[in-house]
Amino acid sequence: MAYKKPESALVVLFDEHHRVLLLQRMDDASFWQSVTGALEDGEMPIETAYREVAEETGIDAKALGLSITNHAKQNQYVIRERWRHRYPPGTLHNTEHVFSLQVSSKTPITLTEHLQYEWVSKDEALARLWSPSNKEAVSLFVPSKA
């Protein structure tokens, strides 16, 4: 098994109603998150963001003419103990690059890596998300309803 690089992209998707797309993990049904994934060798964080959105939701943002916003924000967090075996031995921290993408709520979602998805209010997303950095990204980068 090839180890994951301890550097990832987090992409918060929200719709025209300022609802946040939450994805339920297959390996931990209590864990809801935004799109996220590790950078591959030679890949820039923005490339990872586009790739992961397509892989996890079926949304080809480039083909739809949508631009992912790079918030030029990086987080560093401790990798959950249950996932550390995926990284090189002794790796404890991950660096996360934060992005967001607004899509129409009518855009079809095709899941490949998650159990289910839900469009929820910003407040509900903040209550349900497990990751503190994911909560912060939703709080900072998803507009509040007018």
pLDDT tens digits, residue range 68-120?
A: 999 999 999 999 998 899 999 999 999 999 999 999 999 999 999 999 999 99
**CA 75, 79, 83, 87 torsion: positive or negative?**
positive
pTM greater than 0.75 (yes/no): yes
- Pick out the residues of the known binding site for substrate: 4, 25, 36, 131
- Pick out the residues of the known binding site for Mg(2+): 52, 56, 113
- In the chain, how many domains are there? 1
Q: Does residue 132 sit within a domain? A: yes
Residue 27 structural domain:
7-141
pLDDT of residue 145: 76
pLDDT of residue 146: 59
Q: What are phi and psi of 140, to 5 degrees?
A: -80, -35
pLDDT band at 27 (very low <50, low <70, confident <90, very high): confident
Give the list of residues 6+ apart from residue 67 with CB closer than 8 angstroms, or none.
61, 101
Give dist(CA 48, CA 50) in Å, integer: 6
- Pick out the residues of the known binding site: 4, 25, 36, 52, 56, 113, 131
| CATH code: domain of residue 100 | 3.90.79.10
Q: Does residue 1 sit within a domain? A: no
